A and B are shown apart, each in its own frame.
Chain A
Amino acid sequence: EKWAATRAKYPPTTLALQHFDATYGVQLGQQWPSVRVALLSERKYGALFNNFSHDAALADLEALGCRDFIRDIDAEAQPCPEQESKVVAEGESICVSMKKSDADGQQLSPLQLSPHIKCLVFPRGDITRFKPAKPDMLGLLGYYLMDAASVLPCLALNVQEGHNVLDLCAAPGGKSLALLQSQCIGFLCVNDSSVSRTTRLKKVLHSYVPKQLLTDEKLRVTSFDGTKWGEIERNTFDRVLVDVPCTTDRHSLMEDDNNIFSKIRTGERRKLPQLQAELLLAGIQAACPGGEIVYSTCTLSQNQNMSVVEQAVHSARENHGIHLQVVDLQPFTHMFRKTFNFAPDLPVGEMVIPHLTANFGPIYMCKLRRLT
């Protein structure tokens, strides 16, 4: 009795695990046990270095054995110069036939990775934890701790000088902060429908970014329902990040509080793919023609990842006449395989899958380019 006494019969974390066993067991096959044990064990963090702080954090972290994973790349894994893209064909689903991209200059190469975004991690197999960041003399913190894999969607967004950028679901702000580190954004619009979470987001920004960079000309923080964005501000942004609410697999396995697998939230959970598709579609509409959109989640679920992308791409074309191209991120992710474990051969998008030796993720991302 001692071991079982006080637990509720099916706490949300148990329900989440049962759900994942059923779906990911099939989806990932033999890989699932390794992903499962990683999800249930302590995760790894990355320290997003804050360029605006005067703390000596970088040197300190490097002295501890950390390295900036963005620069610590596989020499052989440079992306090929002629980048290929997956093109959306007519019909139900996304075709995986390869076609050369004609949009020159849009190609991802290591040179185009923002030179300013730095994220430090301990090497594979090293389980050392980061200490909390310290404030410098102006009170700005030296680094922000987040899943290092969460930096990938920001890098993949490939923000260029002067870009007008929208972060549609931004709170608590880790990815906004990573985008700001690129120091080349013309205007950043951060939005999150939750007012309490946007309040937290503002606090985060103020602990990391100097006031003069958070002025109305540079930044706007809003609390709109992101699904409505297409009605508010269409064809506007060069870059849009759509980091949607999802089943947050890791969190759902660890915390019973506020868990999306609790019985009372079943309806909300079932509606997630629909909400995600609406948010992505709104993000697509908010982007300008030629603009790029990155969709990301922190779940392994196919229904919330690939299917959502397919649905949104389909609906953009059918209902709004917007044609999109799925940008092949494989050359990009290939560079970082020293640090992360990527799911092999996804038909659409790329996914970091957790593994004990590199316990980051799950992070799914898919990049779309608006052709019209």
Chain B
Amino acid sequence: LCSSTSLHHELSSPSKKPDTELSLRIFLDMGFTDTQAEQLHDTVSKLRGGSAAKHVLSTLTALFALGLNPSSVLKLLDKCPELYSVKEPQLQQRIDNLRKLGLGEGSIQRVVAYYPQILTVPVKTVKTAVGFLREKCLFTVQQVTDILRDSPAVLTENLGQLEYKFQYVYFRMGVKQGEMVKSRLFRFTLDEVRHRHSFLERRGLYQTPDKKGQTVILNPKLDSILSVDQNTFLTDVALASAEEYDVFKRLMAREWHEQEQEGGRIEAD
């Protein structure tokens, strides 16, 4: 940690100069290979406006400070070029906030590599989303941390959509928070969840539990419904053919579209 901080200081002064001075040399010094450095240089010089390029070094420094190596840094910047232009204090604030939310060194590194967009999300937005997960969905602190680690994209999802998805799984499928976290529910779109669930339900293989939480049949676990590819889902869980499921999804899309048009959507209160 100490060494990366010093690296940060050493490099912060050139970043204030015009971007043309961001030479290959600096990138090489940071540990990029020749090709990587050239590639980076190329990208940076194409960035519009000085303000964009001016944060390049602080961004790189921050990413290295998370323990990422040059090639993964390059890869994630490729996925999310917006990161080049995030201002240093904001970036640091965001990282600190994620740490506060329980993402330890290893986790934060993996999350950023897998979903770099997380560092473009303002702290305020993260706080709102976390507040929502805690208060509206009653996830525990630890569960929220797990959600952020497994499904960071949850932070950028529309809260209305998120609430609808949660309520669908909670009320309609009768699944509790622990199961939701275990199955990495928030990695899946609402449509994916609804397609698989309603297909099973209409086939008679899934039931909404009654008030006492009881069902006549044994429901498959959310995890076994979601965390498998479509073929496995069809052969192992739904016991159906791909043709049937394909027609079913198209029928559902039309059914739901028409319900929405009629304003038949369940209102959040």
Contacts and interface: CB of A to CB of B under 8 A. Distances in A.
A and B co-occur in one complex: yes
Interface of A: 1-4, 21, 25, 30, 32-34, 36-37, 40-42, 125, 127, 355-357
A2 B202 contact: no
A127 B202 CA distance: 18
A42 B204 contact: no
Interface string B243-269: 110111011001100000000001001
Contacts of B243: 125, 356-357
B204 A3 contact: no
Given A3-B172, A42-B251, A37 B244 contact: yes
5 contacts: A2-B171, A33-B203, A33-B204, A42-B255, A125-B247
A183 B77 CA distance: 74
- 4 closest A-B pairs by CB: A33-B203, A37-B202, A3-B171, A356-B247
Interface of B: 167, 171-172, 199, 202-205, 208, 239-240, 243-244, 246-248, 250-251, 254-255, 266, 269
A134 to B, nearest CB: 23
Contact of B248 (A3, A21, A30, A356): A356
A37 B172 contact: no
A4 B202 CA distance: 17
A37 B248 CA distance: 9
A274 to B, nearest CB: 30
B256 to A, nearest CB: 12
Given A33-B204, A127-B254, 4 more contacts: A3-B171, A3-B208, A34-B244, A125-B243
B205 A33 contact: yes
Nearest to A358: B247
Contacts of B205: 33
Given A127-B251, A127-B254, A34 B171 contact: no
Contact of B244 (A3, A4, A32, A357): A357
A259 B1 CA distance: 72
Given A4-B171, A127-B250, A356-B244, A33 B239 contact: yes
A130 to B, nearest CB: 14
Between A3, A21, A42, A357, the greatest number of chain B beta carbons within 10 A of the residue's beta carbon is seen for: A3
Given A125-B247, A127-B254, A357-B244, A36 B167 contact: no
B263 to A, nearest CB: 16
Given A2-B266, A36-B202, A42-B255, A127 B239 contact: no
A40 B202 contact: yes
B119 to A, nearest CB: 35
Contacts of A42: 251, 254-255
A2 B240 CA distance: 31
A37 B199 contact: yes
A95 to B, nearest CB: 35
A84 to B, nearest CB: 33
B244 A1 contact: no
A366 B128 CA distance: 65
B40 to A, nearest CB: 50
Contacts of B255: 42
B244 A127 contact: no
Between B208, B247, B254, B266, the greatest number of chain A beta carbons within 10 A of the residue's beta carbon is seen for: B247
